[in-house]
Each structure stands twice: as structure tokens, then as C-alpha cells.
Structure 1
Amino acid sequence: MNRNPIVTQALTRAATPQFAERRAQPSLRLSVDWARSEAEVREAQALRYQVFAVEMGARLAPPKGAPAGLDIDLFDAYCEHLLVRAGSSDDEPGPVIGTYRVLTPAAAKRAGGLYSDTEFDLTRLRSIRPRLVEIGRSCVHADHRSGGAILALWGALAEFMARNGLNTVIGCASVSMRDGGHYAASLWRQIAAQHLAPIDCQVRPRLPLPIAHLRQDLQVEPPALIRGYLRCGAKLMGEPAWDPDFNTADLPLLLRTADLPARFRRISG
């Protein structure tokens, strides 16, 4: 594998910026598109570094020789990178304030699997993997977590999937364990009560969060990103995995495009 990411041609353009603009702050315009150069991928990796390493304290392990201040891993070279920018006009799209990376079924074969395979036993998903994409390294800048950025990302992703005959998306939503894991365990219990996936779509963590030894009765507020996923119809596929490097509990989520709210189906139809 190449040391640095090689940007591939995105399979389709993202949803129109006007979709995001309606949900942007009055003084800002959100635009969303696919990274088309290594420089644009670097912008996404810089945002990821800021959120994961600086804000969350993750212990990143970039490839040898990777530039400082970037979050890079071996899956980046195989992914399409979706970017949301916040600017004042079309001529000044502004900095990247939100990003996903998207791993298609064909790219997953070249990569040797999904990132989620390293954290979960995905055996039960075998039958749906040919039309399944994985999103990862999702993050939004702290100043833009009120909902507009995540809605823009989801709208673009819905169009991408519809145009390319894909119907299921999975990914991990990371929750900080700075309190020892009690928040994460309580959040898992709270979400599972209403949003647990059917048994045929449930997975098992390879390194489980020790839920039985943690408090599960705290009344907690889900992070903005997870609230956005659930509003889009996402289901929880099982118990969270523990990621020691990021010091997070990773909740496995699944969403079928058929379950998306009507406003996304209109955009992607």
C-alpha cells in the first residue's frame, strides 16, 4: 500500500449545495462535495487530527513519514472523502468543517476488508455486503455541531448511494471514555432500548466495552452526531467496542436508505 493517500475519482458528485444552504447559519453557506485532489484530502485529515487528537486526546498511529498534524491511516488510500465547507459565498467556499470517508464494496475488496472488520465480527452482514458502504472517521468542527453539517453529509451520501445502486451504510460512532466508560455504557443502554437492529443485522465487538462493570442507569444526552444518525433512521447493531488508542467506545450503526426520512429520499431520488 502506498504511504500517502491516492485520491480516486468519486463515483458521482455530491448533493447540491443548495440542500445544505437551507440549514446553514444565516451568515454562512455550507457546501458539500467530494475531495478531488490530495490537497483536499489533507484538509479532511487536518480536521480529523484537530477533533480526534487535540480535542479527544486520541493516540494516533500514522504511517511512517506521514506529515505532522494529520490523521492518516491505511484505509484512507482506498476511500472517497466527502467534505463540508462553511463560507460566505460560492467564490469563497471556506474551510472544511465536516468530513466522512466512504469505502465502497469494490474498494473494500482492494483494501482487504472494512475498517469495521477490525473492531467487530460482521459475519451476519455477509449477505448484504455487496451493496453496503462504510463511512468512517466522521467528524464535525466543534463550532458547527448544531445539525446543518451532518444533514449536508447525509444528503450527499444518500445521492451517492442511490446513483451507484447501494442500499446500506454502516459505521462506528465514537463516544469518549474520559469518565471511565459510564457515560458510554449508559448511552448504549438508552439507545438500544429504542433503536436496536434486528438480530440478523447484529454484530459482536472483538474487544467489548465491559458494560456489566459500568453504570448503565445515567440519564445522558447523545452527542450531536449520534442524534443526527438516529434522526436519519440508523439502528444500533450491538454492544460497543472499546478502542484503547482513541479512548472511545465505538457504537456500531447501520442505516438502510429505505429507512431514510422522506426529505433525503427526495434529494436522492
Structure 2
Amino acid sequence: MRLQVRWARHLDEVRQAQRLRYQIFAEEMGAVLQTPVAGHDIDVFDDFCEHLMVCDEEQNKVIGTYRLLTPAQAQRAGGLYSDQEFDLSPINAWRAQMVELGRSCVHAEHRQGGVILALWGALAEFMQRNRLEAMVGCASIPMQYPGLAHGEGPARIWQQLRQSHLAEPELQVRPRVALPEELAHISNVSADALKVEPPALIQGYLRAGAKVLGAPAWDSDFNTADLPIMMRMQDLPSRYRRLFGRMKA
């Protein structure tokens, strides 16, 4: 398999990324999407975003994607997608220096390969080229985990990560719609009993020095709990600094 990483250059290529997103979010994960084009995941932010794609050249199809919202485009869009889910005022000082990542997904047949690394390599180049210092976004956790009550999986993951990867108090944000109140008892469960594996993408962000900005928001349309994540270039471990090049010490 030959991989090609590229930025969408016209609407037809954006549509390819949106079709993959629909396959993953709606057909695989069961999200209820309000979309103007059948079989595509489309929202109002897409027109303001850069769309990054990994393509399988042999099959001529998109197998991985991210969308990026730059500071300038976020102003034109009236804010970030994450602003809809969180009160982000504690990180307002970072807005001119950060890009929002969103709608990340990889085709089910390619999640063990180099697709996510290819996406991250292109993200690194984008950050350097645009002299940006942070990435922010909503990292989704399924509300349903095998053997657990609805929402208990993300509630447990949040309790784990708040002990190990929580951002400093001045950067912590609040969800506009919190997880259901009946999950509040999870905070009293012992650490050993809490253990639930976070999604692979979240684990990757955390290995790269990302911080959790606060409690997750409940996205009922996608049936996910969305963690507010921020990855500052200054926090990157040394092995990631080689990937991202120009980094502050």
C-alpha cells in the first residue's frame, strides 16, 4: 500500500474526507448527523477549515483525515467548534497561537498502520510553517463501553486522567453540557477499580505531552464524551520535538 498525504485542494476532495467521516461517525459509531448531503458528515465549520487527508494511492481513496481551524479562520467562523462544547475563556490568551484539530478518523482497515503517523507528520509541518504554539480540540470517548453502564467508561477515564494529566488550574475549562448526574458516584470509586483504557488517539496525545483541560462534555448527537485537550509545543517530550522541529525549550 502506498500512502499519500495531502491537503484538500477543492470541494471534491473535501467531500471525500466528509464521506469517510460519515462512514466512521454515523455508520460505525452510530452518531446522529444533521447533514445537507446524504452520506457525508458536514457542518458549518468545514468551509473555514483546512482538510488534511491520507490517501491509499492503489485504491484511490481517503483512509484518514483531520480538519484544522487556524486562528484567522476561527475569527471568521465566529469561534472554535470547541466553543460550542466548553467555556474556553481560560485559554483566550492562546487563541492567536493555536490551531483547533477536529473530526479525526482513520478507516477501520488501516488503524494498525502508519496512517496516524502520516497525519501527525503533516501536522508537525503545518505547525512549523504557521508558527503556531499549541493545538486544541475535543477528543471523543464512546459513551458505551462493554460491560459498563452508559457513560461509565468516559466517567472512569476522566477520573483517571484528572489525577495524571490535568492542566494547571488557570487553563481549566468547563463543559456546557456535563456528563449525566447519575455518573457522579464514579469519583468515589477506588483508583484500581477505575481503570478503563482511553481510546488510542487520546493515548497518543498524552504521550506527546497533551493536557486535559477539564471534565468532558456530553455530545448527545455523537453519543460521545468529549475531553478538552490542549497540546502545547513547549510541553512536547524530546522524542517528539524532532518530529515537530522548531520547539521552545
Normalised by the length of structure 2, the TM-score is: 0.88
Residue 51 of structure 2: aligned partner: 81
In the TM superposition, what are the counterparts of 1:46-61 in structure 2 within 5 Å?
A: 46-61=19-34
Letter in 2 for 1:42: R
Tell me by how many angstroms 1:29 deviates: 3.0
Name the SS of the counterpart of 2:194 in structure 1: coil
- Give the distance between the partners of 1:115 and 1:48, measured in 2 at CA: 16
1:103 equivalent in structure 2: 69
2:101 corresponds to? 135
Contact 2:216–2:225 (8 Å) recurs in 1 = yes
CA RMSD in angstroms, aligned pairs only? 1.7
Q: Does 1:157 align with 2:123?
A: yes
Q: What whole-Å deviation, never above 9, does each CA across 1:148-194 have from its counterpart, x for those lacking one? A: 22222122112111111110110111111124101111111122221
Aligned partner letter, 1:221: E
Instruction: Give the equivalent residue in structure 2 for 1:193.
Output: 163
Q: Which amino acid aligns with 1:200?
A: E
- Compared CA separation, residues 168 and 93, structure 1 to 2 (3 A): farther
1:259 alignment partner, one of 235, 240, 247: 235
Task: State the shift of 1:264 in Å.
Answer: 4.2
Aligned residues: 235
Structure 2 CA distance for partners of 1:147 and 1:260, relative to 1, 3 Å: farther
Of 212, 233, 237, 1:236 maps to 212
Structure 1 residue 124 corresponds to structure 2 residue 90 = yes
Amino acid corresponding to residue 178 of structure 2 in structure 1? P
Deviation for aligned residue 1:260: 2.8
Q: Is the 8 A contact 1:147 1:224 kept in 2?
A: no
State how far apart, in whole Å, the 1-side matches of 2:170 and 2:124 are.
23
Tell me by how many angstroms 1:30 deviates. 2.7
- Residues 39-98 of structure 1, C-alpha deviation per residue, up to 9 Å, x if partnerless? 111111001001110111111012xxx2210000000000000111234xxxx4732111
Unaligned runs of 5+ in 2: none
Q: Which whole-Å CA distance do the structure 2 matches of 1:232 and 1:267 have between them?
A: 11
TM-superposed deviation, 1:224: 1.4
Q: Name the structure 1 match of 2:41.
A: 71
Partner of 2:14: 41
Distance in 1, Cα, partners of 2:86 & 2:123: 23
Q: 1:71 to 1:126 in 2, by over 3 A?
A: same
Q: How big is each residue's C-alpha offset from its partner over 1:196-243, in whole Å with a ceiling of 9 and x where there is no partner?
A: 111122110000113414575432112111112112211111000001
Question: Partner amino acid for 1:118?
Answer: Q
| Partner of residue 203, structure 1 | 173
Contact kept? 1:147, 1:228, Cα under 8 Å: no
Compute the displacement of 1:267 (Å): 3.7
Contact 2:175 2:215 in 1 (8 A): yes
Unaligned runs of 5+ residues in structure 1 are 1-27
1:113 aligns with 2:79: yes
| Aligned-pair identity (%) | 61
State how far apart, in whole Å, the 2-side matches of 1:268 and 1:253 are. 18
Write the deviation string for residues 7-31 of structure 1: whole angstroms up to 9, x where unpaired: xxxxxxxxxxxxxxxxxxxxx2332
Residues 1:35 and 1:93: Cα distance change in structure 2 (over 3 Å): farther
**Residue aligned with 1:127, SS:** helix
Amino acid at match of 1:246: F
